Amino acid sequence: MLDIKQIRQDPKRFKVGLDAKNSGDELDTLLNLDQRRREAVTRSDELKALRNRVSGEIAQLKKNKQPADDKIQEMKQVGIQIKSLDEEIRQVEGQLDAIMITLPNLPHETVKIGESEEDNVFVKEWGNKPVFDYPIKDHLDLAEALGILDFHRGAKISGTGFPLYKGAGAKLERAFINFMLDFHVEKHGYQEIFPPFLANRKSTFGTGQLPKLEDDMYLDNTDDLFLIPTAEVPVTNIHRDEILAESQLPIKYTAYSACFRREAGSYGKDTRGLSRVHQFNKVEMVRFTTPETSCEEHEALLKDAEEILQALNLHYRVVSLCSGDLSFAAAKCYDIEIWAPGSGKYFEVSSVSNFTDFQARRANIRYRRTADNKVSYVHTSNGSGVATPRLMIAFLETYQTDEGTIIIPEILQPYTGFNIIKTQP
C-alpha cells in the first residue's frame, strides 16, 4: 500500500507513477478526501478541547453553587457538532481507504514507461536455441505419445486446465520440485518452508491479490479461505504484524506449493497443453530485506532463478517489464522466458519482482534499525524458482530424440532414477 503522507507531500511524483500504471485517475479525489478528513479532524479536536475546558468550568461553577445552564446548553450543541464531525471523518476515511487499497505500487525509477508487453526491454539471454536435424514435436504430442500426461482424464476429474501426470511424467514433475528445492537450499542458502495451501483474506490482501484479483482466485465460501495462487502469499505472510531485528535481514525462504488460478480474464489465450493451466506446481523464493539492499537482493533473486535453468542447460532470455505490464504490487519485475523449440516460442517461466515496501505496508511487516532503534517497513521481493508447467514444456521439447523419447540430463537423474523416458506401458 502507498503512504498517504508521501502522496500529500509529493503529489506530482505519484501522479506520474500512477499514470505509468494506468491508475492515476482517482488521485485528485484522494487528495480532496484527505484534505476534508484533516480539516474535519482539526475542527473536531478543537471542539473536544473546548468541551473539556468548559466542562471544567461547569464543574467549578456547580461547586461554587453558581448558575451553569448557559454553558451546559452550549456544550450540548458542541457535542452535536463533534458527533457530526466524527461521523463525517468515519465516512471520509472509508472512502479514502476504498481508494488507497486499489492504488498500485509505483514503478521503480529504472523501469521503462510503456503500455504493454510490447514495450518490455530485452535484458539478456543465456545459451543457444537447440538445433535438430530431424522433425520435432511439441510437448503435448510428445507427452501423449509417451503416455506421461493425460489431459482428457484430468478434464474428466476436474475440468479443463487440470493436467494428470502419469508414470515417468509424474516422477519427472516430482524430480523438478525436489531438484529445485535442494538447489536453492544447498547452493543459494534459502530456508525451506512447506506452507499451507489455503490463505485467509488478511494474507491475500497483504501480498496484493485482494481486492483486485479476487475473481481470478478459487474461494472456499464456507471458511472464506482462498486456494493460494502462489506460495508467495503464505510465505510473505509468515512475518505479518511482526517487527524483525535488522540483524535478521535478509531473510531468504524457498517453498514448494501447488498453485491455483482461475484466470477469469484469460479466455481466448494460448491454452494448448501445459501452457496455461488452473493448477500447477511451483518452487518460490521470497526475500525480506532493508530498503538499502532492496535492489541488490532483487538482482540476486534473478540470478538464483536463472541458475536453475542453466543447470538444466535450457536456453532462456530475460526481459524487464515496462510500467504498463507490471503487476499491481510490483515496483520492478524481470520475466525469465524459456525457449520451447517444438512450440517455436518463448514461455514465461519465472517472474522476479521487487515490491519495495508496498506489501510490507499492507501486511504490517517491519524491522527495528540497529543504528537508531527506529522501526521501518521491510522491503519484500520474490521470484519463481521456477514454475513447472512451462519448464516441462521446454524440457520435453529440448530433450526429445528422433525416436520420440526424452533424454534426462545427468544432473536430474539422481531425482528421477532413470536416464530416458520411453513409451509408458
Residues annotated as catalytic are 261, 276, 348, 351, 390
Residue 50 identity (one-letter amino acid): L
Integer CA distances (angstroms), 175 to 201, 388, 394, 417, in order: 33, 10, 15, 9
Sign of CA dihedral 254, 258, 262, 266: positive
Residues 92 and 44: their CA atoms lie apart, in Å, by: 14
Grid cell 522433425 is found at 135
Residues 119 and 309: their CA atoms lie apart, in Å, by: 25
The answer to whether residues 320 and 121 touch, using CB atoms and an 8 Å cutoff, is: yes
C-alpha cell at 178: 525436489
How many CB atoms within 10 Å of residue 174? 15
Residue 360 identity (one-letter amino acid): A
Residues 43 and 370: their CA atoms lie apart, in Å, by: 39
Nearest alpha-carbon partner for 246 in 369, 357, 374, 360: 369
Residues 51 and 118: their CA atoms lie apart, in Å, by: 62
Residue 258 identity (one-letter amino acid): A
